[in-house]
Amino acid sequence: MRSRAFPKVTLLAVAVLLLWLKTYVAYQTSFDIPIENWKQELILLINPLSFILFILGLSMFFQGAGRNRYMYIVSWIVTGVLFANIVYYRFFNDFITLPVLFQTSNMGDLGSSVNELIMWTDLLYFIDLLVIGWILWKKPQVFHNRPVTKMARRAYFLVVVAIAFFNLGLAETERPELLTRTFDREILVKNIGTYNYLVYDAYLQSKSSAQRAFADGSELDSIENYVSAEYKEPNEDMFGVAKGKNVILISLESTQSFVFGEKINGEEITPFLNDFMEESLNFTNFYSQTGQGKTSDSEFLLDNSLYPSSRGAVFFTNALNEYRATPEVLGENGYYTATLHANNKSFWNRDVMYNTLGYDRFYSLTDYEVTEENSVGWGLKDIPFFEQSIQYLKEMKQPFYTKFITLTNHFPFELDEEDRMIDEYDSNSETLNRYFPTIRYEDEAVKTFIQQLKDEGLYEDSIIVIYADHYGISENHNEAMGQFLGKEVTPFVSTQLQQVPLMIRIPGMEGKQIDTVGGQIDLRPTLLHLLGIDTKDDIQFGADLFAEDRLDFAVLRDGSFITDKYLYTSGICYDKATEEPVEDAAVCDPYIEKAEKELSYSDAVVSGDLLRFYEEDRQGDSNTDAAE
């Protein structure tokens, strides 16, 4: 006698099949997930299944119409999460995490960026839900809705568990210690799937919260020992060379080093910055080390010399931590500190985080006159931004530490016709094509600002630091990038494209090119040492870029790294001279260990808010010394 526990046609079977199918289609069409063998393809096929079966299978505990209603609502939610991943991946070439998914305060400011990323074909991901909704409304009898026995439920969830363990077992054979080495999100998603990754991310989030709650400061011992052993003494000739000078930082939005010295149709892309490099200390092997926090991550690296989070933005997840940030240190040394950025003050939670970091003032959107005529894309154009900012700079108490964050060269790289100084590029990527005119405009804006500094008598009293926050062109545009570069964009080239500019102009000092390998995490000790402030007792993972015995080394947030001889990414160790994998991959092992140790130590500091204990210890030592 045939069992009646599972009817021939149920919404559960239909919903599972459709969600499974659309997820696999998204893997193949919307994500660039490298597959090397049949086993990896099988893993990719089955990895969404256990989650989909589980979340929809909970409907078995509902009765009557409530069961179908639950499945229909959940199908919309899961599809929404999938679609959010698709849109996010199109620009960032990365998968979404829970902190990013719930950073809703940023969504209202995204504007044209999101519109640019959504395609009409995306409607196909929702057509099945519209059809099912119509059936449930007009012909609900199509889906059988009979009671499910306890035995059937047990059998169902045993199958779910079996599939989950089969998936995880296969994944472990392909990637041992998969869940303990979480720096590379792509590897995790490829092996456990987008939905299971979010579940795993929720576990990491709760673990991070617990880590802070149960931290007692004992974790600092090994970190202090590591940091102390790695500390590099500042160069005697450079230490204090800019003491008492103003500091003017200019953060170039989405600017990668490959544009410098290049031309479009015979026209220089960055004519002013090409010249400014000649009179500056120009670092040619400087890398962006940001994660999902993008510009806010670059700010975090700059001011703290700690790595950003691998999930979400520290500006959101750990904004109330105790830090020993550059603005706080400089404030204690008589500096006035400010950030100027013509954007909503709450974007990236800056209004909260800047207070934590010790900034005296944040000049945000409300401090600028923004009109339709002087705005494009994300807001106020760079030239009027600098023109309006100079008055604030003139009014500041000196010496000051100021950071200017540009905006125009932001995806989707929109620009008014009257601001175009070079033509668009000609490739199959509209994004890359538009990138060059906005870079050229940004270059002109910096030129205007530098002239204003000279006119106001601030130029020779200030060190000027020009650096960039993160990439502008993601790996989704590799074909077009290959056309521009004249070579294939391999994983090696893609990692090299994380190079961003760093120019430091010091009054009275001649410019020169410096080939030291470094990253944004090195900015804090470098700048503080130039100003004559020692950082030997600070918890930081960067090293002074001028230190004579520093190691040529830069770690990216995904665990990739670059040295003077080697580049490591996606599990492959490359020889920088040949751009090919090395014969003996073991040469990268010491650097792999160092990279993982630094990332994990930094994560422990941030997640556990460990600097609160370090500051207490410092305060206690200070009181003891005073008593003696």
Query: What are the pLDDT digits (tens) for 160-189?
Result: 999 999 988 888 877 766 665 555 567 778
Residue range 429-449, pLDDT digits in tens: 999 999 999 999 999 999 999
Mean pLDDT value of segment 506-530: 96
Mean pLDDT over 48-54 rounds to 92
Q: What is the mean pLDDT of residues 57-77?
A: 89
More confident residue, 425 or 174: 425
Q: So what's the pLDDT on residue 580?
A: 95
Residue 39 has pLDDT above 50, yes or no: yes
Residue 273's nearest CA partner among 263, 285, 261, 287 is 261
CATH superfamily of domain region 220-627: Alkaline Phosphatase, subunit A (3.40.720.10)
pLDDT given at position 115: 64
Residues 279-297: tens digit of each pLDDT: 999 999 999 999 988 899 9
Instruction: Give the pLDDT score at 341.
Output: 95
Check whether 345 has a pLDDT greater than 70. Answer: yes
**Reported confidence tier of residue 62, pLDDT bands at 50, 70, 90:** confident
Residue-level pLDDT at 627: 44
Query: Per-residue DSSP letters for 367-387?
Result: GS---STTEETTEE-HHHHHH
Give backbone dihedrals phi and psi of 405, rounded to 5 degrees, phi first: -110, 115
Distances, alpha carbon 417 to alpha carbons 266, 435, 493, in Å? 20, 14, 33
In the annotation, is 448 catalytic? Answer: no
**Rounded Cα–Cα distance for residues 282 and 261 (Å):** 13
Per-residue pLDDT tens over the stretch 445-465: 999 999 999 999 999 999 999
In tens, the pLDDT along 183-196 reads: 556 777 888 888 88
Q: Is pLDDT larger for residue 144 or for residue 320?
A: 320
> Residue 116: is its pLDDT beyond 90?
no
Region 504-514: what's the mean pLDDT?
95
Range list for CATH 3.40.720.10 in the chain: 220-627
pLDDT band per the 50, 70, 90 thresholds, residue 572: very high
Catalytic site residue from 295, 317, 438, 495: 295
Cα separation of 183 and 52, whole Å? Answer: 25
| Tokens matching residue 358 | 């010790």
Query: What pLDDT score does 500 carry?
Result: 97
Q: Which among 234, 335, 240, 332 has a CA at the least distance from the CA of 530?
A: 240
Cβ neighbourhood burial of 345 (10 Å; 0-12, 13-18, 19+): middle
> Is the CB of residue 513 less than 8 Å from the CB of residue 280?
no
What phi and psi values does residue 57 have, to the nearest 5 degrees?
Answer: -65, -20
For the beta sheet containing 553-555, the strands, ordered from the edge strand earlier in sequence to the opposite edge, are 553-555, 561-563, 566-569, 572-575, 580-581
The predicted pLDDT at position 202 comes to 78
pLDDT of residue 182: 52
Number of H helices, E strands in the chain: 23, 17
pLDDT at 102: 64
> How much is the pLDDT for 6?
43
Q: How many CB atoms lie within 10 A of CB 536?
A: 12
**Among 9-18, 274-283, 296-305, 530-539, the least confident range:** 9-18
Average pLDDT across the chain, whole number: 88
pLDDT at 508 over 80: yes
Mean pLDDT of all residues in 365-377: 90
